[in-house]
Structure 1
Amino acid sequence: MRRILVVGPSWVGDMVMAQSLFVTLKRSGPCEIDVLAPGWSLPILARMPEVRRGVAMPLGHGEFGLGKRWALGRELAAEGYDQAILLPNSLKSALVPFFARIPLRTGFRGEMRYGLLNDLRLLDETALPMTVQRFVALGRPADAAQPPAFPNPHLLADAANQATLHSRLGLADDRPGIAFMPGAEYGPAKQWPLPHYAALARELVGRGYQVWILGSAKDHPAAVEIAADTPMVHNLAGRTQLGDAVDLLALAEAAVTNDSGLMHVAAALDVPLVAIYGSSSPEHTPPLSGKVSIRSLGLECSPCFKRVCPLGHTRCLVDITPASVLQALETLGAGGARMAATAD
């Protein structure tokens, strides 16, 4: 049986999309897949049945650490991997597989990796416009037809953790939950206005839902503004780990999100999803699910891919109204009035 080490990406959304590669590898023949990845991503990998184990990279993002990479490579040499597949294009990502003396080392050309990789591919961005296509292409022969067909990611939730979370976080038992992911790590040009989120939350609560605001501790102030003393709006930002967010999203009736890592998590759980795009584009990294409604206005100035609107108005997001997002939820079979609606 082939043993494969995948050097994983450094972002939540990309790690979710990497599952399409793992499924493709499994379908191509018996293999065991280990993933070398940042420690934060291990709970995501644990919810991918194709992955035998996640190996935590003992270095932070951007840290070179040649000595630590050499030591890790020599440790992994004992695993007897047949192939390494590198999803990042950086020089440093190629060092551990080289030090591990993995015989076949596959990746796209980038940052002078000649010699470190011996299955060096040229990336045709026109033929492979989507990130997931690029990942999957690396798991296929170099002469395979492009673009490759790919399976959608599909994460598995932890049922035991779901029950624990529901109790620990004080979530209501008699109202379905709709998750909000208002985080914008990249910048405000990707964040739907917080007053819009707040207005939508009030409307959903009035219709009998509870709202779960998910995100990291950095998103807590935004979540406070959205909740704004509205009953049944739970500010969970900073109160959950990444694995918890996966399990909560699997319980949600639907989700509303910016273009973010948690957007890809929700899609991989097949949760009905309204994805709001401003400065970015769904052409390259769309949520990979059949239950998605994308809200993007396609203005002449977008996508600009800027962190902050260069024109100062962010109309690409401001002009997407709460009413239009609510309508998108309804087309997905969520957001309608519930019999349980009360005047809480």
Structure 2
Amino acid sequence: MAAPVKILLLRFSSIGDVVLTSPVVRCLKQQVPGAEVHYCTKREYQPIVEYNPYIDKRYYLEGSLYSLIRQLRAEHYDYVVDLQNGFVATLIKSMLGVRTYSLGKPSLRTWLYLNWKINTLPTQHIVDRYLETVEPLGVENDEEGLDYFIPYKDQVEVDWLPVTHRHDYVAFVMGGRHMTKRLPLARMIELCRKINHPVVLLGDKEDRVTADAIALELGNQLIFNACGLFNLNQSASLLQRARVVFSHDTGLMQVAAALKKKVYSIWGSSTPQLGEFPYKTPYVLLEKSGLACRPCSKTGFGNCPMKHFRCMNELPFDFEVKELRQKKKNFE
């Protein structure tokens, strides 16, 4: 039997990024003989890692950082895998004093792309860069994609939904932390009208007013406003039940990819070239190409820096949801 090898993985933000580290967790556990994998993240992301069977122990950043470091030092790790490479992660690594493997950040290339629109970024997904970080440990990409584990207690029952949405619906992740990553209200209404199928709107409590306006315009037969009604894992359960998923560039888009749903991925101020498009799942990119001002930000802004917001206002809805068309034909 192989001697135990203790490995600590660090990633402190955000929902999507923590989900995107799941292949590294799985591959470390399955491919490193005797691996005991620990994961350290912020407490708010506990639902993402709590039920992952490839994680042996979890630590959460809340309150005193130095208290957390004392706990981590007591574990006597063999290796630290840093997929954050920020100030907190660097401090933890320096205090633990063990061999580390850290994600390299193409900061200059990203800056050139965002500010001068000169794209010299590698044509690879961030997940593949994460996995390159642990190649020295003998880890290879198993090509199985992302993981997301939903506990039984968070599975949404069919009868929790309106009758119109109990057996077939499209999920639309309409939320997003920053305005420039979201369609304006009028365009969300246009999108839901274009889909022309029962839609479950997903977002947080702050998105509920906007979602109510969509439901008021299109009617409850078409729209179910689930914003703020469900926790993260329950929202994942709703994604799992959906026929297809429409999503802005946000954390639940990565959750949908982990659940192997087909994703219609909506891009505004950011672009797929930044490396976080849906991973190992069918997807369709919805974006306004050819804009000299795009991308303007990786994380998004509160307002369009150019004031016109053409990336979202002029984004074409020229898609066809073949999965819905096929169902309608079968029904007929």
Q: 1:173 to 1:311 in 2, by over 3 A?
A: closer
In the alignment, which of 199, 208, 226 is matched to residue 236 of structure 1?
A: 226
Instruction: Give the distance between the partners of 2:165 and 2:188, measured in 1 at CA.
Output: 23
**Residue type of the alignment partner of 2:75:** E
User: Contact 2:10–2:39 at 8 Å: present in 1 too?
Assistant: yes
**Residue type of the alignment partner of 1:107:** S
Please give the TM-score of this superposition, normalised by the length of structure 1: 0.78
What does 1:293-332 correspond to in 2, within 5 Å? 293-301=284-292, 302-305=294-297, 307=301, 308-322=303-317, 324-325=318-319, 327=320, 329-330=321-322
CA displacement 1:153-209 (0-9 Å, x = unmatched): 132333553244x4345464654021111123122x22123223223334545xxx4
CA displacement 1:224-274 (0-9 Å, x = unmatched): 222225123111111111111111111111111111111111111111110
The aligned counterpart of 2:174 is: 182
**Residue type of the alignment partner of 1:76:** L
Q: 1:213 to 1:53 in 2, by over 3 A?
A: farther
In the alignment, which of 100, 123, 130 is matched to residue 105 of structure 1?
A: 100
In the alignment, which of 86, 92, 96 is matched to residue 96 of structure 1?
A: 92
Instruction: Give the distance between the partners of 2:230 and 2:152, measured in 1 at CA.
Output: 16
Q: 151-160 vs 220-229, which deviates more?
A: 151-160
CA displacement 1:306-343 (0-9 Å, x = unmatched): 62333322222222344x24x1x22xx236564899xx
The aligned counterpart of 2:110 is: none
Instruction: Give the distance between the partners of 1:140 and 1:12, measured in 2 at CA.
Output: 24
2:11 aligned with 1:22: no
User: Contact 1:23–1:151 at 8 Å: present in 2 too?
Assistant: no
Structure number with higher helix proportion: 2
User: Contact 1:47–1:157 at 8 Å: present in 2 too?
Assistant: yes
* % same residue: 23
User: Contact 2:155–2:237 at 8 Å: present in 1 too?
Assistant: yes
Please give the TM-score of this superposition, normalised by the length of structure 2: 0.81
* C-alpha deviation, 1:132, in angstroms: 2.0
Runs ≥4 in structure 1, deviation > 6 angstroms?
A: 142-145
In the alignment, which of 238, 246, 256 is matched to residue 256 of structure 1?
A: 246
What does 1:135-284 correspond to in 2, within 5 Å? 135-141=130-136, 151-164=144-157, 166-170=158-162, 172=164, 174-187=166-179, 189-202=180-193, 204-205=195-196, 209-228=197-216, 230-232=219-221, 233-283=223-273, 284=275
* C-alpha deviation, 1:51, in angstroms: 1.9
Instruction: Give the distance between the partners of 1:171 and 1:245, measured in 2 at CA.
Output: 18
Instruction: Give the distance between the partners of 1:220 and 1:311, measured in 2 at CA.
Output: 28
User: Contact 1:154–1:270 at 8 Å: present in 2 too?
Assistant: no
**Residue type of the alignment partner of 1:79:** E
Q: Which runs of 5+ in 1 are unaligned?
A: 60-67, 111-124
The aligned counterpart of 2:44 is: 40
* C-alpha deviation, 1:292, in angstroms: 0.5
